[in-house]
Amino acid sequence: MRRFALIVLLAVLTLPAFAVTPDEMLKDPKLEARARVISQELRCMVCQNQSIDDSEAPLAHDLRVLVRQRLSTGDSNRQVLDYIVARYGDFVLLKPPVQLDTLLLWGLPPAALLAGGIALVFAARRRRSAEAAPAPLSTAERDKLAALTGE
């Protein structure tokens, strides 16, 4: 059910065309390969959670062409991404940048792993010390022991 909701959305939001089409592709295979890598990092802004590389929407087509234009003029991958982010904002990046308002997003998983790990280490220590040092005898027990051993 979950997935077909996705499929429905894709169907509704996209035209029955193709994602990357033959006429968009660059002649230079190295440059084209870089374009594909960059395209997978960029979100198709009018789709739900699709990269421009996968999307058939016209806007994704425009962005793919833009990426290829920038690459052809000699931009590095970083420069292309920066150029597109400057125009469309962080929303276009499928991997959000690490900044103040995404600190929790990036920080929570490692923090949880660390906290869980530390908690486990402490629990193990507590268990070990509990095992190693049994509670001292109470006065009543001591008396009983004394009576038994006859001291």
Instruction: Tell the smallest beta-carbon distance from residue 148 to another protein (Å).
Output: 28
The neighbouring-strand residues paired with 42 are 93
Nearest of 66, 85, 79 to residue 26 by alpha carbon:
66
Query: Which stretch, 69-77, 79-87, 109-117, 132-140, contacts another protein (CB under 8 A)?
Result: 109-117
Q: How far apart are CA 55 and CA 47, in angstroms?
A: 8
- Is the Cβ of residue 17 or residue 145 nearer to another protein in the bound state? 17
**Contact present, 20 and 29 (Cβ < 8 Å):** no
- Is the Cβ of residue 113 or residue 137 nearer to another protein in the bound state? 113
Does residue 132 bind another protein (CB under 8 A)?
no
> What does the block give as tokens for 148?
């038994």
Q: Which parts of 3-32 interact with another protein (CB under 8 A)?
A: 3-11, 16-23, 25
Among 27, 73, 101, 147, binds another protein (CB under 8 A): 101
Q: Which parts of 74-93 interact with another protein (CB under 8 A)?
A: 89-93
Q: How far apart are CA 55 and CA 24, in angstroms?
A: 14
Query: Which stretch, 37-45, 58-66, 69-77, 142-150, contacts another protein (CB under 8 A)?
Result: 37-45
Per DSSP, helices labelled H in the chain are: 2-13, 29-41, 58-72, 77-88, 103-132, 139-149
Instruction: Tell the smallest beta-carbon distance from residue 67 to another protein (Å).
Output: 15
